[in-house]
């Protein structure tokens, strides 16, 4: 099924009798979903782009690269630095903006510019009853009614099929610089990153790649980047020599390149930076990669290793991103939260068309 219009999509869903597997570019889906494939490839195109107001409204099936190319012409970008997980997951194809929103996919700049959900200002979607719903709009501030925009971000296509999404954008900064510290153990590295992130120098990337270095990114106007780099170098001097990084490590960190092609399961751990090194030490993974100042940890583990059981209770959650095991993809939720999730899914998709975990 590949409807060309929102109306056609709505009538398809209204008339559906079995499970539906909503597919954007097919580059990221984690949990296998049985059901008739429903492609959003027919719903493409930029509806509105206003560079002077930093706003973009776009059809959900539009490939990400089309959007990125368009924004480049005006020297603007999506603030949340979408990761490209094809290499990690062994997929081909082109991610769509709808799939990106459905996954709330956010890269290293999350710590400074927010997640995908923070830039998302409007949605249109077709729910499981075939009803078209709109929420939010094309303005930065909007508190009119219940915020379904946030609810749809990260909903993994379980509440409805997004047809159109609106974003606020950011200008591409004049320049960027990356500082690197070498040879730090995990705990010291996270302390160094916290020190950078608690400075007034507006860090837009803070990651620790064991064996490669501890990285700090600063973006902005050239004079300001030079000034802040120097200040950060001074501030971090106690942790060792602070160099300017020779190459740009951020695409590799963003896309979890260190694990590409490596055997084993891939987990994504969300927690507080301070807790992260101890948790990782307890798990003794094959490899670890810390982003978001330590708040996001990618782990490469033995196949079928139940990381959640090994972690015990902690502040955060773990998602199984790549595996052949039968372990659940998503972290089990506490009972009262799970009840709310079930309740919402039952309301938006009463016939249970949009199958899948979560």
Partner 1 sequence: MDMPLPDASVIARRSRILARLAAALPADALISDPVETRAYECDALTAYRCLPLAVTLPRTTTEVATILRLCHEEGVKVIPRGAGTSLAGGSLPTADAVVLGVARMNAVLETDYPNRFIRVQSGRTNLSVTGAVEADGFFYAPDPSSQLACAIAGNIGMNSGGAHCLKYGVTTNNLLGVTMVTMQGDILQIGGPFLDAGGLDLLGVICGSEGQLGVVTEAWLRILPKPEGARPVLMGFASNEVAGACVSDIIKGGLLPVAIEFMDRPCIEATEAFAHAGYPDCEALLIIEVEGSPAEIDDQLARIKTIAQRHNPVAYRESRSEEEAKRIWLGRKSAFGAMGQMGDYICLDGTIPVSELAHVLRRIGELTASYGLRVANVFHAGDGNMHPLIIFDANKPGDLELAEALGADILRLCVEVGGCLTGEHGVGVEKRDLMHVQFTRDDMEAQLRVKDVFDPDWLLNPAKVFPLDVTASRRVA
Ligand X SMILES: Cc1cc2nc3c(=O)[nH]c(=O)nc-3n(C[C@H](O)[C@H](O)[C@@H](O)COP(=O)(O)OP(=O)(O)OC[C@H]3O[C@@H](n4cnc5c(N)ncnc54)[C@H](O)[C@@H]3O)c2cc1C
We find the least distance from the C-beta atom of residue 25 to ligand X, in angstroms, to be 3
Using alpha carbons, select from 206, 210, 208, 258 the residue that is nearest to residue 232.
206
Cα–Cα distance measured from residue 297 to residue 88, given in angstroms and rounded to the nearest whole number: 15
Question: Can you tell me the distance from the alpha carbon of 52 to that of 55, in angstroms, rounded to the nearest whole number?
Answer: 8
Nearer to ligand X, 24 or 295 (CB): 24
3-state secondary structure of 6: helix
Q: Any contact of residue 108 with partner 1 (CB under 8 A)?
A: no
Of the candidates 307, 297, 300, 303, the one whose C-alpha atom is nearest the C-alpha of residue 285 is 300
Query: If binding is defined by CB under 8 A, does position 313 make contact with partner 1?
Result: no
Using the contact rule CB under 8 A, the part of the chain among 33-41, 45-53, 63-71, 302-310 near partner 1 is 45-53
Based on CB atoms, which residue is closest to ligand X, 28 or 109?
Answer: 28
Among 42, 87, 210, 316, binds partner 1 (CB under 8 A): 316
Q: Using alpha carbons, list the distances in angstroms from residue 3 to 35, 99, 297.
A: 16, 16, 38
Count of C-beta atoms within a 10 Å radius of residue 249: 20
Whole-number Cα distances in Å, 81 to 110, 112, 253: 8, 11, 11
Check binding of 341 to partner 1 (CB under 8 A): yes
CA 224/CA 226 separation, integer angstroms: 5
Kind of pairing, strands 213-220 and 160-168? unpaired
- Interaction residues for partner 1, span 171-230 (CB under 8 A): 171-174, 191, 194, 197-200, 202, 221, 223-224, 227
Residue 31 binds partner 1, judged by CB under 8 A = no
Nearest residue (CB) to partner 1, 51 versus 93 = 51
**At closest approach, how far in Å is the CB of 33 from partner 1?**
17
The 8-class DSSP code of residue 149 comes to H
Task: Give the residues lining the site for ligand X (CB under 6 A).
Answer: 22-30, 40, 60, 83, 85, 95-96, 98-100, 102-103, 105, 156-157, 161-162, 268, 319, 329
Of 184 and 307, nearer to ligand X (C-beta) is 307
Distance CA 114, CA 111 (A): 6
Site for partner 1 in 150-169 (CB under 8 A): 150-151, 153-155, 158-159
**Residue 174 interacting partner from partner 1, ligand X, none (CB closer than 5 to 8 Å by kind):** partner 1
Is 4 or 174 the residue whose CB approaches partner 1 more closely? 174
Query: Containing H/E element for 181?
Result: strand 175-181
CA–CA distance, 40 with 162 (Å, rounded to integer) = 9
The binder of 311, among ligand X, partner 1, none, by C-beta within 5 to 8 A per type, is: none
> What is d(CA 179, CA 242) in angstroms, rounded to the nearest whole number?
6
We find the least distance from the C-beta atom of residue 39 to partner 1, in angstroms, to be: 24
Q: Tell me if 49 contacts partner 1 by CB under 8 A.
A: no
Q: Does residue 135 interact with partner 1 by CB under 8 A? A: yes
Choose the binding region for partner 1 from 64-72, 86-94, 282-290, 311-319 (rule: CB under 8 A): 311-319
């Amino acid at each position: 099924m590949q409807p060309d219009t929102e109306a056609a999509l709505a009538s398809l869903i209204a008339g559906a009798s079995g499970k539906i597997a909503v597919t954007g570019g097919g580059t990221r889906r984690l949990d296998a979903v049985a059901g008739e494939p429903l492609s959003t490839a027919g719903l493409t195109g930029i509806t509105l782009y206003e560079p002077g107001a930093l706003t973009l409204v776009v059809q959900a099936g539009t490939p990400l690269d089309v959007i990125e190319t368009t924004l480049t012409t005006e020297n603007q970008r999506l603030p949340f630095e979408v990761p490209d997980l094809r290499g990690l997951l062994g997929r081909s194809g082109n991610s769509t903006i709808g799939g990106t929103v459905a996954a709330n996919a956010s890269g290293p700049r999350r710590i400074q510019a927010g997640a995908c959900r923070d830039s998302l200002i409007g949605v249109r979607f077709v729910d499981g009853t075939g009803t078209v719903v709109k929420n939010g709009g094309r303005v930065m501030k909007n508190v009119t009614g219940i915020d379904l925009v946030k609810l749809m971000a990260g909903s993994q296509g379980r509440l409805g099929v997004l047809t159109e999404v609106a974003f606020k954008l950011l200008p591409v900064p004049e320049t960027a610089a990356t500082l690197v510290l070498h040879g730090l153990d995990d705990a010291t590295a996270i302390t160094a990153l916290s020190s950078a992130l608690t400075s007034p120098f507006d860090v837009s990337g803070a990651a620790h790649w064991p064996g490669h270095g501890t990285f700090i990114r600063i973006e902005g106007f050239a004079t300001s980047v030079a000034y802040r780099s120097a200040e950060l170098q001074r501030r971090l001097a106690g942790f060792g020599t602070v160099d300017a990084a020779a190459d740009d490590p951020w695409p590799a960190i963003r896309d979890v390149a260190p694990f590409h092609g490596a055997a084993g399961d891939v987990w994504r751990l969300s927690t507080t930076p301070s807790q992260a090194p101890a948790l990782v030490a307890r798990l003794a993974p094959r490899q670890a990669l810390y982003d978001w100042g330590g708040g996001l940890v990618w782990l490469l583990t033995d196949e079928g290793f139940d990381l959640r059981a090994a972690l015990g209770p902690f502040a955060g959650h773990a998602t199984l991103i790549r595996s052949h095991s039968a372990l659940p993809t998503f972290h089990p939720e506490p009972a009262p939260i799970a009840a709310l999730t079930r309740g919402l899914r039952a309301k938006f998709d009463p016939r249970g068309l949009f199958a899948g975990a979560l």
